[in-house]
Amino acid sequence: MNPVSTKITRRTFVVTAASVAVFGGAPKARASSDPIPTPRQSAGPFYPNTIPPDSDADLISVAGRSERAKGTVTNLAGRILDPRGRPVSGALVEIWQCDALGSYHHPRDGGGRDPNFQGYGRTESGGDGGYGFRTIRPVAYPGRTPHIHFAVSAVDFPRLTTQMYVAGEPRNDRDFLLSRIRDPRARASVIVSLEPTSGGKTEPLSGTFDIVLGDG
């Protein structure tokens, strides 16, 4: 499916800025002499058929609803980088994942759904390549370890689709898609630690996921 053009709204800007602030500044790029291209992975069957009306970077709040999504609030931030480790600005960054009940907000996925979870969000990378999302910690469902789907569309680069995984999940070793990444460094590059932001609280969690685009 072709990427959908987007622009940064005030709400998107606020979420992105807040996510970066959590980490005390923009995440640092890997050494430009030795970048690790982020491995491509399947988009799966649940990329939206149509982009939902509320598709900003804050997935735990849905326009018109007063309650927030079920699940552990998680701030994700990172940078979009080129093959030499330089920031890529203006890239469209999309994420989609199941809700805390294990259901994607997609017609092909049945079962109960959390109406207060967007299921999909998008934003643009800033001048330093930085992006940010507020979402929930991904959960497992039958056959898959917890993960979040990512897609990045940028000028002069082929669209990259990948998945982000959670460090320490026991299901990681048995996940059929994660195990297909044979290079240990490439595999490690898509596994992210999600830790309490501050004060020993359980939420929000924070994680950093830098994405390195490939040449083709």
Per-residue pLDDT, 8? 36
Per-residue pLDDT, 11? 41
Q: Under CATH, which architecture does the 10-212 domain have?
A: Sandwich (2.60)
Per-residue pLDDT, 28? 43
Per-residue pLDDT, 22? 40
Per-residue pLDDT, 203? 80
Q: What is the number of other CB atoms lying within 10 angstroms of the CB of residue 167?
A: 12
List, for residues 105-156, the tens digit of each pLDDT value: 999 997 779 999 999 999 999 999 999 999 999 999 999 999 999 999 999 9
Residue numbers in the chain where pLDDT is lower than 50: 1-32
